[in-house]
Structures are given as structure tokens and as C-alpha cells.
Structure 1
């Protein structure tokens, strides 16, 4: 999917960088980021079969996007997170984002192959472990 990129700035190191952002009309669609901030993946809550398995198991107060990022297959051999990350210093503290639009980039779909290949009981355990990781 081709996604518009916007200028963002890191509050920790001051570096400006481009970050893909979906439009306000992209209901149920989310962009995940690698822990290094160098790559991205997108998923749709409505269309993703993994979401249908995960959502009923979530305790109140736990964000679906956080758990889905934790369960997603790695991108460029890196785990995904649901928040923006500075590609220079890996801080998640941004001074601003959604600044001036500055081009477009391709963002591949997030995959959940490893999770979906588990048995039902293993999927339930994987969701419980993901909830513990994101709640910590």
C-alpha cells in the first residue's frame, strides 16, 4: 500500500525524519513500526483473521494494536511496535508528528503467519504472553 509520509521530529535527539501516516478516513487500519524505526507494516482490524482471534481475549485497558504488534511476524528481522520510533536514537518520544506531508512510500502488510499456524491452545497462550509483554 502506498502511504503518505509526514515530517516528524524526535524530542530526545532532535532529528527530523519521515513517518508514514494513514488518512483520517482509514477506519480500522493501523501502521506498525520496527523497534529501530526504520521500517513499517500495516494491518486492518476488519480484514485480518488474527484480529478476530485476538480481540475477544483482550482484557479491558489493553490496546489491540499493542498486542497485534507483539504477535506480528518480524519485518526485516525486527519485532514490531504500535508507536512511532525515531530511526536515529530509537526513542519513542516525538516532539511533533503529522507535520508537513513530504512524499509517499510503500508500506507492506503486516503478517501473522507464525501466530496463525499455532494450535488454538497455543494461540491463546501467545495472546496471554503478548498481553503480559505490552502491560509491563
Structure 2
């Protein structure tokens, strides 16, 4: 569990005002994943989470073209990692924030003064890691294709 600051935010699509978590600009290897409905959050430490390296290794074995080092491939990889995370409140995770009202990712964040802090759990990969290796690889192939459309 990590305490994260939440800041005032507004959805550009529906104008809904809400508080959104933000890690800050100096968090190397740390990510904040958001539940698809914007109702829950989880932290991910790429350096400390063994599943991060496992997913990368298996993705490279399964989808050789994922070895590219361009920024789009990096964004696709983070999307895949988020989608491999165990669901929260019945919904999968995303590597970006979403409006909890209309689910748009077009959010304006005022990160000058935090509204409050809250404890956020670490991301779990128990569901993905519980799959047989062949099932993990099939899921990674599926997510690679999906990420081309979503990122």
C-alpha cells in the first residue's frame, strides 16, 4: 500500500469534476494504473514487481516485433502490463486515468495543490500468473493486437 496524492480534475468530454491520483513527475519506474471505470487505482513498481519482467520476457518470445524501442511500443507494453493485472471491482486496469462518469481519458488535472491523499494498493498479477504458460502467451498475443487499436 502506498499513499498517493489526489488532485482536482475535470473531464474534458463531460465536464465532470472529481479528484484524480497523480504520482508526480519524478517517479522513475513507478506507474499508477486505473480501473476501467475510474473507481479504483493500483500502483506498479516496474523495478520491484517480478511480473513486469516476466510479461516482458514472454511478450518478446511470443511477439518478436515487440522488441522495438520506439515510444509507441513502450506505450503498448505498458498497456499490456496493465491489462495483465488482476481486475479491481470486476473491471480490468488501464495505464492512464479515466473519468469515473463517462470513462473518457481526456482529463485536465490541476496538480498545484492536492485535494487529499489516499492509500492505494500495489497491483496484483495473481490471475495472469496463475495461467499456464501457453495461456499467458495466448493472452499476450491477444493484447498485442488489442494494444495497436487502443494506444
TM over 0.5: yes
Is 2:20 the counterpart of 1:7? no
How do 1:1-136 residues align onto structure 2 when only pairs under 5 Å count? 1-56=2-57, 57-58=59-60, 59=66, 60=68, 61-62=72-73, 63=75, 64-94=77-107, 96-99=108-111, 100-136=113-149
Q: Which has the higher helix share?
A: 2
Deviation at 1:25, TM superposition (A): 2.6
In the aligned structure 2, how far is the partner of 1:89 from the partner of 1:121? 36
Name segments (4+ residues, structure 1) moved above 3 Å.
none
Unaligned runs of 5+ in 1: none
| Contact 1:30/1:42, CA 8 A, preserved across alignment | yes
**1:7 CA displacement:** 1.3
Measured in 1, the distance between the counterparts of 2:46 and 2:119 equals 19
C-alpha distance in 2, partners of 1:49/1:122? 18
CA deviations 1:54-113 (Å, max 9, x no partner) are 22425133322201111111001111111110011111112x214332110111111001
Aligned CA RMSD, in angstroms, stands at 1.5
